Amino acid sequence: MRRGPSAFNIAAIVLGMGFLYLPIVLLVIYSFNESRLVTVWGGFSTRWYVSLFQNEQLLAAAWVTLRVAFVSATLATILGTLAALGLVRAGRFRGRTLFSSMTYAPLVMPEVILGLSLLLLFVSVGVARGFWTVMIAHTTLTLCYATVVVQARLVSFDEALEEAARDLGAPPWKAFALVTLPNIAPAVAAAWMLAFTLSLDDLVIASFTSGPGATTLPIRIYSAVRLGVSPEINAISTLLIGLVATGVIAVYLLNMRRRTAAP
Amino acid sequence: MSVTGAPRPRRPWKGLGRPRGQPSSEARAAYAPFLWLAVFFLVPFLLVAKLSLSDVVLAIPPYAPRLDWSQGLGGVIAFVRALDFDAYARMGQDGLYLAAYLSSLKFAAVATVILLLVGYPLAYGMARCRPSVRQALLMAVILPFWTSFLIRVYAWIAILKPAGLLNMALAQIGLPPVDILNTDTAVYIGLVYAYLPFMVLPLYAVLERQEAGLLEAAADLGCTPLQSFWRVTFPLSIPGVMAGALLCFIPMVGEFVIPDLLGGSGTLMLGKTIWTEFFSNRDWPVASAVAIVLLATLVIPILLFQRQQTKMMEQR
CB–CB of B27 and A86 under 8 A? yes
pTM: predicted TM-score of the whole model, two decimal places: 0.87
* Number of folded domains that form chain A: 1
Task: Name which of B15, B193, B179, B42 is nearest B114 in CA terms.
Answer: B193
The segment with the largest mean pLDDT, out of A70-84, A177-191, B44-58, B213-227, is A70-84
Domain assignment present for A13: no
Task: Name which of B203, B33, B9 is nearest B125 in CA terms.
Answer: B203
- At B71-81, the pLDDT tens digits run 777 777 777 77
Which residues are CB-contacts of A84 (< 8 A; sequence separation ≥ 6)?
A146, A147, A148, A150, A151, A154
Query: Under a CB-based contact definition with an 8 Å cutoff, are residues B126 and B138 in contact?
Result: yes
Domain boundaries, chain B: 41-84, 102-315
CB–CB of A244 and B14 under 8 A? no
User: What superfamily does domain B102-315 belong to in CATH?
Assistant: MetI-like (1.10.3720.10)
CB–CB of B250 and A110 under 8 A? yes
- B165 interaction partners in chain A (CB closer than 8 Å): 26, 38-39
Domain assignment present for A22: no
- B291 interaction partners in chain A (CB closer than 8 Å): 112-113, 116-117
Per-residue pLDDT of chain A (263 residues; tens, 9 = 90+): 445 778 888 999 999 999 999 999 999 998 898 887 766 788 888 888 998 888 888 889 999 999 999 999 999 999 999 999 888 887 777 778 888 888 888 888 899 999 999 999 999 888 889 999 999 999 999 999 999 989 888 888 877 888 888 888 888 888 888 888 888 888 899 899 989 999 998 999 999 999 888 899 999 999 888 887 778 888 989 998 998 888 888 877 877 776 665 44
Task: Name which of A102, A249, A56, A85 is nearest B43 in CA terms.
Answer: A102
Long-range contacts at A178-183 (CB < 8 A, ≥ 24 apart): A180/A154, A183/A157
Domain assignment present for A24: no
Domain assignment present for A7: no
Task: Give the number of other CB atoms < 10 A from CB of residue B67.
Answer: 13
What's A143's domain CATH number?
Answer: 1.10.3720.10
Query: Under a CB-based contact definition with an 8 Å cutoff, are residues A159 and B13 in contact?
Result: no
A241 in B contact zone (CB under 8 Å): yes
Domain assignment present for A37: no
Q: List the 22-51 stretch of A: residues with Cβ below 8 A of B.
A: 23-24, 26-27, 30, 38-39
**Cα angle at B80 between B76 and B85, to 5 degrees?**
160
- At B94-130, the pLDDT tens digits run 888 999 999 999 999 999 999 999 999 999 999 988 8
Asked if this assembly's ipTM is beyond 0.90, the reply is no
CA distance A167 to A172: 10
CB–CB of B48 and A116 under 8 A? yes
Of B38, B158, B305, the CB nearest to A104: B305
Query: Under a CB-based contact definition with an 8 Å cutoff, are residues B192 and B114 in contact?
Result: yes
Residue range(s) defining the domain that contains residue A109: 48-261
